[in-house]
Structure 1
Amino acid sequence: MVAMGGGPEVPSRGDSKELLLCVLPWPQKSSEKMMNEIRDEFPNLDLQYVQEKYEKRSDRGTMVLPEEIYKHAHVLATLHWLPPKASAVPELDLIQFFSAGTNHVAHHPIYKDSTIPLTTASGVHGPQISEWVIMMHLVHSHNYIPLYEAQKRKEWEGVAGRSVRDAVGQRVGVLGYGSIGRQVARVAKAMGMNVIAYTASPRTTPESKRDEGFIVPGTGDPDGSIPSAWYNGLDKKSLHEFLKQEIDLLVLCVPLTKDTTHFISTDEFSVLEKSNPHGTYIANISRGGIINQAALIKALETKQISGAALDVTDPEPLPSDDPLWSAPNCLITPHVSGNTAVYAERAFQVLRENLRRRMDGKKLVNQVDRKRGY
């Protein structure tokens, strides 16, 4: 809601209503349908919307709001913006992030010094990101880049298209078997690929293999039945045992924490090289810091791996003079794999589910464990 002067209006609420404040980068009109559904289902909520506007990535979360806008909020829906500290929002008892993770606010006082429950939109990214992963794998395995370059030269040259290795029987290693990894597994299995999974903790029982997060209907692996094998651990020995399994496509889906920073580096590239004569193709859709970027460039240059598809880099944006841009067999996109026209709608669905659980006193979906980092 915007005042005549161009700034956010101070919410006007009945005393009996709780304030649900949305500070999001999309125009309010794009989310009006879901917002109206929430208003209808929760008449005790006064829903107020402020569009967070920024020109540069570095400006995200820096918008200054008058204290009157947020000081009486009970629930906050946000992508980047947070109040300055917990004492500024004494009635706040839920922050619903519209992002998959919270590492971008890990140093904020509300994250470090408060106990306000934080939840994420994990689960809304599976369909579009899994399509990006498979698209990049097919571009690589079908040698599409040289064919496209020949098209631009107007040359009918099919040599590059003869050395295709189709997906049937190839092994996909999903490092981080959350909602994104589960949808990658679903699509990969439909293509005839074998899937193995890696998680931080053991998944030895049917209950532990289930996905307890938000699931886009008709997607993912809700009961965890797709992987032919599960591996686990945060130590290098356990990780190397997983990487030894002749993985053709390694998909990095783990959150960035102190334990996973540079989780894939020189030693891991060596393990992959020794285990797979065809070469492993790596797709990273998590965070750039999961990979030691200097080691990745060397692995590409020395053909320790067959190639890489990166939607994330370290840093972001990637500087124009960074050697990663010219590394061989490397495809880079500017952190866009999670984009979809229905992103906000799906994220509001997660918010609505958590509003239900909050009202009923049930466990929240996608609640962040601050000690674990996700």
Structure 2
Amino acid sequence: MGGGLEGPQKSNGKGRELLLCVLPWPKNAGDKILKEIEREYPNLDVHYFEDSPNKDKSKNTTVPEDLQQRAKVMATLSWLPPNVQAAPNLELIQFFSAGTNHIAQHPIYTDSEIPLTTASGVHGPQIAEWVIMMNLIHSHHYPRYYELQKDRKWENYGAEGRDVRDMVGQRVGVLGYGSIGRQVARVAQAMGMDVIAFTASPRESPESKKDNGFIVPGTGDPEGSIPSAWYSGLDKDNLHKFLSQNIDLLAICVPLTEDTKHLLSTPEFELLSKSNPHKTYIANISRGAIIDQSALITALEKEQISGAALDVTDPEPLPKDNPLWTAPNVLITPHISGGTTRYAERAFQVLKENLGRRKRGEKFVNLVDRKRGY
């Protein structure tokens, strides 16, 4: 814990390469894949440090300078050497997060060309379940019945029950058709929903619609065949065209960049309201700043949208006195939709894939484009 070496370490003989892992899981969380990596790469030394959780500021993970100097490949969630000079031999940094915006001001991000890769793709199953779960909780009026259960009251709101719209024939708009959005689409389609997708760049050919990132087997939309329509563009006109398509469930899955900050504000909520008489339900699992939060509160109060499920807010943690807590028809969870007992194992699978690509001289999977920010 807190920076101690986990398990026996191999020698640091000449000619050997070092994989440095600094992660907030115990080593046994990814032991299965780590052992596969060690068998496949017998010339690789693995040093593992369990990083302190972000909330525990009293503990700081200390990685010896000689290991930072030797490291060829690094696996991390957020810990990094202080600068490029501290880790001159790094040829790959595998992040165990979906994005890298949390380290975008770090010198290794801004002042180096070390390839950075993410764990994008490992979050799809659990986050898609969260999105569909929250939509069902809302549409079936479950919060009211949960309160009745706590009070031991058996009250049948007959009219409310008749007001439930099941998901068959409804439309889900997936704003950001990456690995998470594709799994939302897969589950939504299985429930009888129509799916439309929005991406930053056009996806006009079958090849461009494919998912070239890491895919959890049996999930997602590898060929990009699920959406009945695709929309694209970073300008407001194209975004508004997408939002005008009578969307019942809007799943926000775009990364946070300068282009996407406050992507949804008053004009967008007004447009959603006009385009769907049933009112759109919004689920945000991306980053809180994608939405103009004050505009969202107003849209909820004016009933321009039917409600919102938020796993992310701006800021985080959300202050106790923030009016979002008491806005009507809002459900808030503390950035937990990506959690699963399989997380570390799947992220190590991405690392294993990239070690293979490095050996073969191929392009890394989930390679970060620093200019685009993801």
TM bucket normalised to smaller: over 0.9
Q: In the aligned structure 1, how far is the partner of 2:2 from the partner of 2:373?
A: 35
1:86 pairs with 2:84? yes
Aligned to 1:271: 271
1:58 is displaced (CA, Å) by 6.8
1:162 is displaced (CA, Å) by 2.8
Q: In the aligned structure 2, how far is the partner of 1:186 from the partner of 1:166?
A: 17
1:74 is displaced (CA, Å) by 0.1
Q: In the aligned structure 2, how far is the partner of 1:55 from the partner of 1:48?
A: 21
1:147 is displaced (CA, Å) by 1.2
3-state DSSP of counterpart to 1:76: strand
The residue type paired with residue 129 of structure 1 is: I
3-state DSSP of counterpart to 1:208: coil
Aligned to 1:363: 363
Please list the CA deviations of residues 7-61 of structure 1 after superposition, one character each: whole Å capped at 9, or x if unmatched. 789984111210000000001122222111110011111111001013617789x
Aligned to 2:209: 209
1:325 is displaced (CA, Å) by 0.6
1:33 pairs with 2:53? no
Please list the CA deviations of residues 286-326 of structure 1 after superposition, one character each: whole Å capped at 9, or x if unmatched. 00010000100110011010000000000111111111111
* 1:120 maps to which of 105, 118, 121: 118
Q: Which moved more, 1:277-286 or 1:82-91?
A: 82-91
CA contact (8 A) 1:10 1:68 kept: no
Aligned to 1:150: 148
1:44 pairs with 2:43? yes
3-state DSSP of counterpart to 1:56: coil
Please list the CA deviations of residues 110-169 of structure 1 after superposition, one character each: whole Å capped at 9, or x if unmatched. 001100000000000000000000000000111111111111222211213331100000
Aligned to 1:235: 235
CA contact (8 A) 2:309 2:330 kept: yes
3-state DSSP of counterpart to 1:21: strand
CA contact (8 A) 2:5 2:48 kept: no
1:186 pairs with 2:190? no
Give structure 1 stretches of 5+ with no counterpart: none
Q: For residues 1-374 of structure 1, what are the structure 2 equivalents within 5 Å?
A: 12-54=11-53, 56=55, 63-159=61-157, 160-374=160-374
Q: In the aligned structure 2, how far is the partner of 1:29 from the partner of 1:210?
A: 34
3-state DSSP of counterpart to 2:208: helix
Q: In the aligned structure 2, how far is the partner of 1:145 from the partner of 1:250?
A: 20
CA contact (8 A) 1:74 1:93 kept: yes
Give the RMSD, CA atoms, in angstroms: 1.8
Q: In the aligned structure 2, how far is the partner of 1:55 from the partner of 1:309?
A: 25
CA contact (8 A) 1:93 1:117 kept: yes
1:66 is displaced (CA, Å) by 2.9
CA contact (8 A) 2:247 2:276 kept: yes
Q: Which moved more, 1:240-249 or 1:46-55?
A: 46-55
The residue type paired with residue 146 of structure 1 is: R
Distance verdict in 2 for CA 1:181–1:301, change over 3 Å? same
The residue type paired with residue 180 of structure 2 is: I
Distance verdict in 2 for CA 1:205–1:7, change over 3 Å? closer
Q: In the aligned structure 2, how far is the partner of 1:64 from the partner of 1:222?
A: 40
CA contact (8 A) 1:201 1:233 kept: yes
Distance verdict in 2 for CA 1:71–1:10, change over 3 Å? farther
Give structure 2 stretches of 5+ with no counterpart: none
CA contact (8 A) 2:249 2:280 kept: yes
3-state DSSP of counterpart to 1:213: coil
The residue type paired with residue 77 of structure 2 is: L
Q: In the aligned structure 2, how far is the partner of 1:249 from the partner of 1:2?
A: 42
Q: In the aligned structure 2, how far is the partner of 1:11 from the partner of 1:105?
A: 30
CA contact (8 A) 2:2 2:51 kept: no
Deviation beyond 3 Å, 4+ runs, structure 1: 6-12, 57-60
Compute the TM-score of the two structures, normalised by the length of structure 1. Answer: 0.96
3-state DSSP of counterpart to 2:143: helix
Please list the CA deviations of residues 270-290 of structure 1 after superposition, one character each: whole Å capped at 9, or x if unmatched. 100000000000000000010
Q: In the aligned structure 2, how far is the partner of 1:29 from the partner of 1:284?
A: 32
Q: In the aligned structure 2, how far is the partner of 1:130 from the partner of 1:234?
A: 24
1:64 is displaced (CA, Å) by 4.0
Q: In the aligned structure 1, how far is the partner of 2:35 from the partner of 2:265?
A: 48
Distance verdict in 2 for CA 1:240–1:59, change over 3 Å? farther
CA contact (8 A) 1:147 1:161 kept: no
